Amino acid sequence: MTEIDNASYPSIVKPARLRKGDLVGLLSPAGPVEEAELQAGIRFLEESGCRVRLGRHALDRSGYLAGEDSARLDDLHAMFGDPEVRAIFCTRGGYGTMRLLDRIKYDLIREDPKVFAGFSDITALLLSLFARAGLITFHGPMVRQVKDIGSHPFAALLETVGSSDLHSLEFPEARVLVHGEAEGRLIGGNLCLISHLVGTSFLPSFEGSILFLEDTGEPLYRIDRMLTQLRLSGFLEGISGLIAGTFKECGERTAIEGLLIDSTKDLHIPVLSGVPIGHGASNVSLPIGVRARLDAASRSLRLKEPCVC
């Protein structure tokens, strides 16, 4: 395994909890979005007590991207550089965040830690901000989703980032593939993005982590290929537990679970499947970088430390 030297990574920093009246910024660091698609999400945020600011280039469009790389990067830096902005929520995923990683001012992110949330293609940002700036980030719903799946997942995200309590999550609908308990830092996100970050300095170490994975629209053979890549590169060897989220339109559930079991059979770790994380109607928010305890038998995940301060 070719490991990134995590000794060079900064210490972990946590954002301040989000309070009513705080200003939140909306970014489009990946694919383009129409203003009308955001109205339900903006209305929900305002009704929840947030003030909302749309990024200057959030509605830009350049083919399959939400504007030029420089414009999307400028919005990211502007939001992190503005002391009034206390949380940053992404409008949507798509493609494009990986193009920004080597130009981000990670020292700027670290100077004023803020809540940063999204998923899917945003996985690249979530993991790089943790790996390079030490920032606890949040894998959770995005603003455009509110119009399609309602506000409940986003309300749960606001509850998570608005409290320094130790949260516990139960997943009664999940399926136990391998029994056991595990403790470690939560690391994860979109399987495709994670597999494409292997070999870069933007992917944090998986050593001792509880890894969670999700994806959408990937045929079964590609899920197989990506899991095999993680296994062959050695990135699965040190994990303490595995949580499989939603694999929407990726093939038969039992076939995917068979791949998960095969990929981890020599690791002797607990494996939980069918947890509502990712591309689905219920997108549970998880803090990346926070220590947690997984109990497969009770289908529960308990945070061992606050994710905000």
Residues 72-123: tens digit of each pLDDT = 999 999 999 999 999 999 999 999 999 999 999 999 999 999 999 999 999 9
Whether residue 114 is found in the same domain as residue 155: yes
Indicate whether 182 belongs to any domain. Answer: yes
The CA distance from 137 to 13, in Å, is 10
DSSP conformation letters of 58-93: TT--BTTBSS-HHHHHHHHHHHHH-TTEEEEEES--
- Select which of 28, 37, 57, 120 is catalytic: 120
Per the CB < 8 A criterion, the answer to whether 143 and 87 are in contact is: no
Indicate whether 100 belongs to any domain. Answer: yes
The CA distance from 201 to 198, in Å, is 8
Catalytic site residue 120? yes
Whether residue 10 is found in the same domain as residue 145: yes
pLDDT at 281: 87
Whether residue 85 is found in the same domain as residue 228: no
Whether residue 144 is found in the same domain as residue 185: no
Long-range contact pairs involving 250-255 (C-beta distance under 8 Å, separation at least 24): 250/215, 250/216, 250/217, 250/218, 250/219, 250/220, 250/223, 251/219, 251/220, 251/223, 252/220, 255/220
Domain boundary among 112, 142, 161: 161
254 compared with 164, residue with greater pLDDT: 254
Domain boundary among 111, 139, 161: 161
Indicate whether 308 belongs to any domain. Answer: no
**How many independent structural domains does the chain possess?**
2
Whether residue 209 is found in the same domain as residue 108: no
Full-model pTM: 0.95
In 3D, which of 112, 83, 94 has the Cα closest to residue 27?
A: 94
Catalytic site residue 218? no
Domain hosting 216: range is 168-303
Whether residue 194 is found in the same domain as residue 272: yes
Please compute the mean of the pLDDT values over residues 124-149 and round it to a whole number: 96
8, pLDDT greater than 60: no
Residue 289 token pair: 């970088």
Whether residue 14 is found in the same domain as residue 84: yes
Whether residue 148 is found in the same domain as residue 182: no
Indicate whether 139 belongs to any domain. Answer: yes
Whether residue 137 is found in the same domain as residue 45: yes
301, pLDDT greater than 80: yes
- Select which of 195, 214, 263, 273 is catalytic: 214
Indicate whether 1 belongs to any domain. Answer: no
Domain boundary among 161, 180, 197: 161
pLDDT at 9: 59
Whether residue 157 is found in the same domain as residue 186: no
pLDDT at 167: 86
CATH number at residue 78: 3.40.50.10740
Catalytic site residue 84? no
- Select which of 57, 139, 167, 279 is catalytic: 279
Query: How do residues 261-289 score in pLDDT, each as one tens digit?
Result: 999 999 999 999 999 999 988 899 999 99
Whether residue 281 is found in the same domain as residue 175: yes
Indicate whether 73 belongs to any domain. Answer: yes
